[in-house]
Amino acid sequence: MKHIKNIKPLVGLNNLKTQNIILDLLDDISNHPTIGDIENSGLISLRDYNPGQYITRGVEDYARRLFLVRYGARGKISFIIKEIKENKIKICPIKQKDSICEINLNCCIYSLRSPAGVSHFNITGKEEFALINGNAIPYNFLKVAGITNLSNFRRAIEDLKKAYDDLAGNILLVRRARLTSPNIYYLTFFSENKIIGPSAPMICVQTDDFGLDKSKLLTLYLNSSISLLQLIGFAVETEGAWVAFQGDQVWSQIHIPNFEMLSENIYNRALKVFDEISKLNVDTLFNRYKNRSPIQRLIDEVSLEMLGLEDWKNKLDDIYEAITGELQAMLEILEKSKKSSKRKMKIERRKGREEFRQLTLPST
């Protein structure tokens, strides 16, 4: 009954050691609030932005193309950020990278399209942008980028502008990722500027009533091993190391410190750790656990202090071993799935060739 909203910690893990550690941890932090609790209190709000569906329909493709990319995102991309200088931004179409257009930053909003390639969790000053002024880019430039229907283009902009006003906050959570990817570093990001990200990669956290300092502490904690252990316990595996962290079924279940009850000493120490490491480029998430990263340990130690679980510091190596083992199992499942798919495709191609030969009349 304790896990009635999500019973995966009881049945869905790859090894017994990880399962025991997660259940022990959940017992010890059960008196702490969950993200769902603080959302129910009205301090934060977790919302998906489905581009092109917020206030209008039929412009999904155009709405996704409004996001300007500076990191390693894939998918429906039209523009790449080449340079940001003062209040100007230079962009180029992904299909014609030698063609440059310069626009004012006030024609854009702060965004992050994907967690891929973002090696620090405080992205203040390093955000991506999304276009909200349809007149900022000449039509010929839009055409090169694959944007030809100006009506849909403008409707998509209105959709994004409304979503930004309603959903943007100072935190973005990862909604779907491959945890063993060489491009995944963190699962929670912070900006001092209000920021928006599209679903399915990201979840927007509206934080107006939470405050910047607490948003920083929450971001720090949600990038800890204590949070990752819970996420692994609750996550939905979609294909091997690919996992889905839905807002209601996964993130809302994560227990967090009661920031209102922190001592001044721990509160200030956690903020200091945030300032020291949040903009550092680090190793990938998977490698930090395999290599026992000192930066990860620092995040974990201060997170345990915020929870009042200092005795768990002696268990960190066990936690790292459990997380590494679980991620390695996910990776092996993914690799086997790929090999199985390739084998199936070869069999189907061979079968198709044989059927074709049987249907072909012999030459006379």
pLDDT by residue (tens digit) across 180-197? 999 999 999 999 999 999
pLDDT band at 2 (very low <50, low <70, confident <90, very high): low
Q: Is the pLDDT of residue 86 over 60?
A: yes
Contact 176, 245 (CB under 8 A): yes
Instruction: Please tell me the pTM assigned to this model.
Output: 0.88
CB 61: neighbour CB atoms within 10 A? 16
Name the token pair of 212. Answer: 């910047």
Write the pLDDT tens digit of every residue in 47-64: 999 998 898 888 999 999
Residue whose entry in the numeric block shows the structure tokens 């155009």? 62
Contact 189, 115 (CB under 8 A): yes
pLDDT value for 130:
97
CB 149: neighbour CB atoms within 10 A? 13
Name the token pair of 243. Answer: 């996992």
Q: Is the pLDDT of residue 238 over 80?
A: no
Distance separating alpha carbons of residues 39 and 170, to the nearest angstrom: 15
Distance separating alpha carbons of residues 128 and 68, to the nearest angstrom: 6
Q: What value does the mean pLDDT take over residues 352-363?
A: 54
Distance separating alpha carbons of residues 156 and 228, to the nearest angstrom: 35
pLDDT value for 171:
98
Q: What value does the mean pLDDT take over residues 176-183?
A: 92
Distance separating alpha carbons of residues 39 and 46, to the nearest angstrom: 7
pLDDT value for 6:
45
Handedness of CA 252, 255, 260, 265 (dihedral sign): negative
pLDDT band at 257 (very low <50, low <70, confident <90, very high): very high
What contacts 178, CB < 8 A, 6 or more positions away? Answer: 184, 240, 241, 242, 243, 334
pLDDT band at 290 (very low <50, low <70, confident <90, very high): very high
Name the token pair of 138. Answer: 């000449």
pLDDT value for 11:
45
Q: Is the pLDDT of residue 356 over 50?
A: no
pLDDT value for 4:
43
Contact 223, 299 (CB under 8 A): yes
Q: Is the pLDDT of residue 218 over 50?
A: yes
What contacts 342, CB < 8 A, 6 or more positions away? Answer: none
H/E stretch holding 85 reads: strand 79-85
Could you please report the per-residue DSSP string of 151-213? HHHHHHHHHHHHHHHHH-EEEEEE-EEETT-TT---SEEEEEEEEB--TTTEEEEE-TTT-HH
Q: What value does the mean pLDDT take over residues 246-274?
A: 95
Cα-atom radius of gyration of the chain, to the nearest Å? 23
- What's the whole-number average pLDDT of the chain? 87
Domain chopping of the chain, boundaries = 8-336
Q: What value does the mean pLDDT take over residues 309-321?
A: 95
Distance separating alpha carbons of residues 229 and 296, to the nearest angstrom: 13
pLDDT band at 244 (very low <50, low <70, confident <90, very high): confident
Name the token pair of 234. Answer: 């609750």
Write the pLDDT tens digit of every residue in 132-174: 999 999 998 999 888 999 999 999 999 999 999 999 999 999 9
